[in-house]
């Protein structure tokens, strides 16, 4: 049988490996626990209470989630943020716009300028 693609791994990448070694069974187990929680949080055939419990667990970043993420080789803060954004997008929120309403700045611009030749600092001075 072939390997199945773990949908959780596509969200947060592969677990950390040391020296190119494959993850140990415990890492695989805790990755499966996280994967099941994500599945329960976004699946249509899971009951409403179970879905809410899974979502609350994944965005809580409590000690249990932190331990599970650590054992799975994942960053719990990153997992919480990804899940939170997915839930907000499902509810119609645009999470790519900052809270204060300003446009996001491009990377590498310290002054928040827009890039491109159209937006260069052309100072118009009277003749």
The pLDDT tens digits for 41-61 are 999 999 999 999 999 999 999
Whether the per-residue pLDDT at 1 is higher than 50: the answer is no
Domain total in the chain: 1
**DSSP-H helix ranges across 3-91:** 7-12, 25-42, 48-60, 63-72, 76-90
pLDDT bucket at 92, cuts 50 / 70 / 90: confident
Which residues form the domain of 38? 23-96
User: How many residues appear in the chain?
Assistant: 127
52 within domain boundaries: yes
**CA proximity to 75, closest of 7, 5, 6, 15:** 15
* Rounded Cα distance, 37 and 14, in Å: 17
Whether the per-residue pLDDT at 2 is higher than 50: the answer is no
* Rounded Cα distance, 34 and 122, in Å: 52
3 within domain boundaries: no
Q: Pick the residue with more confidence: 22 or 82? A: 82
70 within domain boundaries: yes
Residue 118: the pLDDT is: 55
Whether the per-residue pLDDT at 12 is higher than 70: the answer is no
Q: Please report, rounded to a whole number, the percentage of residues in the chain having pLDDT higher than 70.
A: 59
38 within domain boundaries: yes
66 within domain boundaries: yes
Q: Which H or E run contains 84?
A: helix 76-90
pLDDT tens digits along 96-113? 766 655 555 555 555 555
Q: How many CA within 13 A on the CB side of residue 114?
A: 6
């Amino acid at each position: 049988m072939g390997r199945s693609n773990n949908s959780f791994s596509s969200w947060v990448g592969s677990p950390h490996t040391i020296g190119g070694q494959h993850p140990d069974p415990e890492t695989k187990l805790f990755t499966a626990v996280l994967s099941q929680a994500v599945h329960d949080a976004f699946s249509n055939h899971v009951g409403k209470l179970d879905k809410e419990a899974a979502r609350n667990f994944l965005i809580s970043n409590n000690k249990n989630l932190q331990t599970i993420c650590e054992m799975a080789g994942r960053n719990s803060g990153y997992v919480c943020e990804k899940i939170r954004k997915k839930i907000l997008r499902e509810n119609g929120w645009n999470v790519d716009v900052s809270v204060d309403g300003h446009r996001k700045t491009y990377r590498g611009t310290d002054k928040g300028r827009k890039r491109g030749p159209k937006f260069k600092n052309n100072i118009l001075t009277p003749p």
